[in-house]
Structure 1
Amino acid sequence: MSQNATGDSHVRLLGAVAGMGSGLTKVAVGHGFDTIKTRMQCAAPGTYQGAFDIFKHIVRNEGPLALYKGATPPAVGWAAIDSVLLGSLHNYRLILFRQGMTEPAPQTGAPRLTLLGHGIAGLFAGCTSAVIATPVELLKVKLQLQSQRAVTERRFSGPVHCLREVIRVQGVLGLWSGFSGTVASRVNFFWMFLSFEFFMRGFSKLAGTPFEVNVGLANFLSGGFGAFSYWIMAIPADNIKNRMMAFPYPDPYPAAISKGTIQVPSFSRTAREIFAREGYTGFFRGLGPSLLRAFPVNASALFVYEGIMRVMGAEKTRQ
């Protein structure tokens, strides 16, 4: 990270711009996997025989495009979410760098942010982005769980209708149902961005050898491998979050006019219910689809993010 970069105020906005590109990439590459994961996590035990069984049910009963149910909120929202996530990540890195969480780079001796610093920046960025991520994911989850083929048979005709119904039944704060689960899930960006930097440093050591890779490919591979660490650590909280957001699924969302008809269970209560019904394995439902989705989605997203940052001449986090 260069001293000039830390002094340029315009640089602070570049992470947010690059994050928008990352968010749109995630939707295009990974939403189908996410739909399968959500149904696996929220359906009653025994409903499906696995991820491929869910895939077959969706395609056979609802059509291939049903894999992209609920894609509109993230198509709009994930650009904003990743703009906040990666924009704040960029700024937290700058703050930690200025606070002295640095070490000399092996070859140049120039200061660079420590691995722990990258992890802490990821943790703070994950918590910051939870505010905007929760409503987007809430709408996505509710739309993904609608298994009816015909739109007229669904409880929610689309994201705008779903938004209105949640507000009508639960009030505006109902859009933040599962917020505690979102935070608990997103603190694990600590592991993702620590791992990302770890792998980037590993690839840099291959320079000058027959195994040398260019920076773009290193970004792609490091993003994919880093995503594995994120999901392995985050999947228990993700299960709790999605079941909180899906509530009262599998019962239908109420059509009552009066507010306050839904009392969403707390994070701790949801966790206890999962353990009581399914044991520890219940917290790892959907891990398979998450890992299948993780590499292409996050590898592509971080490839786009880091590429945009380089093109725009933003600060570097490594030497």
Structure 2
Amino acid sequence: MDVLRKTITNEGILALYKGATPPAVGWAAIDSVLVGSLHNYRLFLLRYGMTEPTPGKGVQRLTLLGHGVAGLGAGLTSALIATPMELIKVKLQLQLQKSSSDRQFKGPIDCGRQVIRTQGIQGLWTGFTGSLAFRSNFFWMFLSFEGFMRGFSKLEGTPYEISTGLANFLSGGFGAFVYWAFAIPADNVKNRMMSQPLVATVSRPGLFAHSGRPSFVSISRDIYTQNGFRGFFRGLGPTFLRAFPVNASAFFVFEAILRVLGAEKTRH
């Protein structure tokens, strides 16, 4: 609430939407890669035996661990395109000047252009190791989602039975809680890596360019030195407030569309 009050007082109500363009444009691509690769990793693991019998149906299904491993692979794959989007979002959100004319970056395109001009194209992947660490936690997201869905399926035929859509909604929301409980430390480190001021890249003969920017380990060390273990969990409250409705809705819509597409495929 203190952050909300100060942001509105110092920068105006529209400051709450700084950095909104990269997610609005880029998250469709990021999530397409995420769930598209997730589906293919699941098929791969099913093909190579990470399966178990489905109770009462006589067919094989992916194990809970298999769902987690598929989520891990999907998270790491999506980091390739998520990192530049998140880098630009973080840099735009950290501009505290009320007037847009006083800000270093005039918008997402200008921000990307300045990063490339200062650090080269590789500068757009600043914080990539943090992004990998953060997105590896999709292991917990998809493992827990499947676990909750299996738990709700056990209510079938009882007075507490719920629809598939509601089960998707609740499982997505609860799964998001599990995800963020594990992911918030890496998210804090990743965001600090991305928030570092632009520093020109220094080339080394025979080696990849070196920027001199803080590493995942050095920033983790700084967080612990300054704030202790609790410093890694800063922002968990607002994240939890957002996590349930956003992810519950996302899973509800995603699973519903898959059922519709499956039904259409069966009819044709």
TM-score, scaled to structure 2: 0.92
Within a 5 Å distance, the mapping from 1:79-158 to structure 2 comes to 79-158=28-107
State the partner residue of 1:292.
241
What is the CA–CA distance in structure 2 between the aligned matches of 1:149 and 1:195, rounded to whole Å? 42
Matched, 1:218 2:167: yes
Cα offsets for 1:242-296 (capped at 9, x unmatched): 0000003xxxx57xxx655963211111111111111111111111111111111
What is the CA–CA distance in structure 2 between the aligned matches of 1:66 and 1:308, rounded to whole Å? 34
In the alignment, residue 242 of structure 1 is paired with which amino acid? N
Cα offsets for 1:208-249 (capped at 9, x unmatched): 22211111111111011001111111111111100000003x
State the partner residue of 2:229.
280
Q: CA RMSD in A?
A: 1.5
How far the C-alpha of 1:63 sits from its partner, in A, is: 2.3
State the partner residue of 1:72.
21
What is the CA–CA distance in structure 1 between the aligned matches of 2:43 and 2:13, rounded to whole Å? 44
What is the CA–CA distance in structure 2 between the aligned matches of 1:189 and 1:299, rounded to whole Å? 15
What is the CA–CA distance in structure 1 between the aligned matches of 2:4 and 2:160, rounded to whole Å? 38
State the partner residue of 1:167.
116
Verify the 8 A CA contact 1:169 1:262 in the aligned structure 2.
no
State the partner residue of 1:192.
141
Structure 1 residues without counterparts, runs of 5 or longer: 1-51, 315-319
What is the CA–CA distance in structure 2 between the aligned matches of 1:145 and 1:237, rounded to whole Å? 19
SS at match of 1:313: helix
In the alignment, residue 107 of structure 1 is paired with which amino acid? G
TM-score, scaled to structure 1: 0.77
Percent sequence identity is 67
In the alignment, residue 201 of structure 1 is paired with which amino acid? R
Structure 2 residues without counterparts, runs of 5 or longer: 203-209, 264-268
In the alignment, residue 243 of structure 1 is paired with which amino acid? R
What is the CA–CA distance in structure 2 between the aligned matches of 1:143 and 1:170, rounded to whole Å? 17
State the partner residue of 1:234.
183
In the alignment, residue 180 of structure 1 is paired with which amino acid? T
Cα distance change on mapping 1:211 and 1:64 into 2, 3 Å: farther
